[in-house]
Each structure stands twice: as C-alpha cells, then as structure tokens.
C-alpha cells in the first residue's frame, strides 16, 4: 500500500508536487540503479567470482537507494505537519507490515504456501543411485 493511499486529496497533491520537483533526479537514479543491477548480475553470474566488484556494485546500489529514500523523506516532511494522529498510526503500521514481508518466516520471501519437501525414498533404497534406464521404444513401422 503506497503512502499516498493514506493521505487526503490535499496532502496527496502536496506530496505529488514535491515529488514532481524531483522527477528528473529520480529518473537519473533509477537509470543508474538499473545499470548497476545489470553489472551486479554480470559479476554474480560470471565465470569467475570477483568479490571486489560485487562489493563495489552493492555499495553503489545502496547509495542510490539512500538518495531515493531521502528524496521521498523530504517530500513527506512537507506533508507531515498536516497529518492526523490516525494517519501517522496507519503509516507506522504500514511500515511495520512491509518490513515483516521482507523477513522469512513472517510471510516474507513468498512463503504464502508451505514449502513441500520431496518424498523420502523407501527404506533401504540408496537415494544416490539412479534407477535403471527404461527400455528403448520399438522403432516405428
């Protein structure tokens, strides 16, 4: 649920105006973030792991995320004085809920369905041994 869903119309307009003023900066940050994520993926899935590159890319990504967070926080700070206690409480609850969705075991990491383990092999069967191959099908006539 986005923050805007808790704001009234006037608050949404003020927040939107503040964010609009930072639109170009956010676009630049988003483009840099996409580029860095591609570079990080290349480093993660390349033939040889280079931990230095992985650290550098993740550090750069976290810096970009910090900048985006600050832009949103500054826009929110302009609206904050007009919020009711109920709105503030809803926002705090919303943040707490979204944080829980990012932790495993608390609904996060897409664990809405219980994880199923494959069935165990029957007792005495060595699970490291493959079953014998199937006989080949007869050639078509």
- Using one digit for the tens of pLDDT, what is the confidence trace for 20-79? 999 999 999 999 999 999 999 999 999 999 999 999 999 999 999 999 999 999 999 999
Query: Phi, psi (5° rounding) for residue 59?
Result: -65, -45
> Quick one: pLDDT at residue 82?
94
Question: Which pLDDT does position 135 carry in this prediction?
Answer: 75
Q: Residues 80-93: pLDDT tens digits?
A: 999 999 999 998 89
Residue 106 belongs to a domain = no
Query: What confidence category does residue 3 fall into, taking pLDDT thresholds of 50, 70 and 90?
Result: confident
The pLDDT score that the predictor gives to residue 128 is: 56
CATH, residue 37: 1.20.120
Give the count of domains, the chain. 1
Domain assignment present for residue 24? The answer is: yes
Pairwise pLDDT comparison (49 vs 129), residue with the higher score: 49
Cα 46 to the chain's mean position, in Å? 22
130 falls within a domain = no
pLDDT band at 110; cut points 50, 70, 90: very low
The beta strand positions in 73-133, using DSSP E, are none
* Residue 119 confidence (pLDDT): 60
Residue 112 binned pLDDT confidence (cut-offs 50, 70, 90): very low
Task: Give residue 108's pLDDT.
Answer: 46
Residue 140 maps to a domain: no
107 falls within a domain: no
CA angle in degrees (0–180, nearest 5) for 66-69-70: 85
The answer as to whether 114 is a domain residue is no
Check pLDDT > 50 for residue 111: no
Q: What span, in angstroms and rounded, lies between the C-alpha atoms of 40 and 44?
A: 6
Biggest CA-to-CA distance, the chain: 84
Domain membership of residue 22 (yes or no) is yes
122 lies in some domain: no
What range defines the domain where residue 48 resides? 3-100
């Amino acid at each position: 649920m986005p923050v805007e869903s808790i704001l009234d119309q006037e608050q949404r307009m003020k927040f939107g105006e503040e964010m609009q003023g930072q639109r170009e900066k956010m676009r630049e940050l988003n483009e840099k973030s996409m580029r860095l994520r591609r570079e990080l993926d290349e480093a993660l899935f390349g033939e040889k792991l280079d931990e230095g590159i992985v650290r550098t890319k993740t550090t750069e990504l976290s810096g970009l995320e910090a900048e985006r967070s600050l832009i949103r926080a500054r826009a929110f700070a302009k609206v904050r004085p007009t919020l009711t206690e109920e709105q503030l409480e809803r926002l705090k609850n919303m943040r707490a809920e979204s944080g829980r969705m990012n932790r495993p075991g608390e609904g996060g990491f897409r664990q809405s369905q219980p994880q199923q383990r494959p069935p165990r092999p029957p007792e005495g069967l060595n699970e490291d041994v493959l079953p014998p191959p199937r006989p080949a099908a007869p050639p078509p006539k």
